[in-house]
Amino acid sequence: MNERLKHLDEINKSLLELAENLQDEFSKKKIALSPEFVLLCFFFAKASKTASAVFKLCRQGYTEDACVLVRTIFEIVVKCLYIFKENSDEKAKNFILHDKYEIRKQLEKVVGWNRKIDLENKEFEEELESVNRECIILEKDFKISKKKIAWPHLDVLSEKVGLGNKYYTIYWLSSLYVHTLVRSSRSFVHETDSGLTFSIGPDEKLSEDVLIWSFDLFRLVVREFDVRFNLGYKERISEVEEKFNKFMLSVTNEK
């Protein structure tokens, strides 16, 4: 690992440690959790664990797999920022209910297919009934009709929260590995004069880019979590961000 990569590694490590501290700080407070705050806790926890996985995979040289997980962090960030940009209570309820509707839709397909081929279906039918009940309860509690649920596609959400440029760069690039598209093949096989060479061992080729993307995205969730729950970590988060900004400036100056 070169010195520049070591420095970036330390910056990411510092942000992950701050995220752990924020969890501890949150647990000390008795906070009434509305639907949007429950979602924020979920987004923060998921992003924290995924960012940790990205960090560890990069350290071990599995950078393409780490790149796949950056896509997940991006989706979390976009949903989080969109919900909390305005009308967070309404958007959180829409998101939760929309998710239930999607689960119900998939279960209906499974149940229908199993019936078609005479496959044992009891477990899925019971799960479908359970989800149906949950939908009815949520519709009543949230005062929402399913006809009003419309959740925008990720590209639209990205533009609404000012991350359209990252959608068409970071998200698109990581999607090459998610969907095993041919363009990503050069990371795994190379054509030489003697034939194909396989590159399936650990390497650092994507480490710098992936760690930059992961930090740049994950910090947005960390900042949102700190601000919304008033945990008092604004200055410490800014200090780590400043280190990151200086690192990025040094990278730019080297080019």
Q: Is 34 left (phi over 0), alpha (psi -120 to 50) or beta?
A: beta
Q: How far is CA 125 from CA 121, 141, 250, in A?
A: 6, 24, 58
What's the average model confidence in pLDDT over 55-84?
Answer: 96
**Closest listed residue to residue 138, CA positions, set 179, 178, 103, 93:** 93
Please say if the pLDDT value at position 147 is more than 80: no
| Amino acid present at 182 | V
Alpha helix (H) residue ranges in the chain:
3-28, 35-60, 63-85, 88-116, 122-142, 154-160, 164-166, 172-178, 207-228, 234-254
pLDDT at 129: 96
What's the average model confidence in pLDDT over 83-102?
Answer: 94
- Give the C-alpha separation, 79 to 164, whole Å: 13
Residues paired with 197 in a beta bridge: 190
Structure-token pair, residue 157: 């959400």
pLDDT at 170: 95
What's the average model confidence in pLDDT over 103-111?
Answer: 94
Tell me the pLDDT of the chain averaged across its residues. Answer: 93
Higher pLDDT, 249 or 147: 249
Q: What is the pLDDT of residues 166-182, one digit of tens each?
A: 999 999 999 999 999 99
Q: What is the pLDDT of residues 206-225, one digit of tens each?
A: 999 999 999 999 999 999 99
pLDDT at 224: 97
pLDDT at 255: 63
| Amino acid present at 28 | K
Using pLDDT thresholds of 50, 70 and 90, give the confidence band for residue 40: very high
- Give the C-alpha separation, 14 to 211, whole Å: 13
What's the average model confidence in pLDDT over 94-120?
Answer: 91
Please say if the pLDDT value at position 125 is more than 70: yes
Q: Is 87 left (phi over 0), alpha (psi -120 to 50) or beta?
A: left
- Give the C-alpha separation, 173 to 157, whole Å: 18
Higher pLDDT, 40 or 117: 40
Half-sphere exposure of 163 (CA within 13 A, CB side): 24
Please say if the pLDDT value at position 44 is more than 80: yes
pLDDT at 119: 80
What is the SS3 assignment for 157?
Answer: helix
Q: How far is CA 76 from CA 171, 183, 217, in A?
A: 12, 25, 9
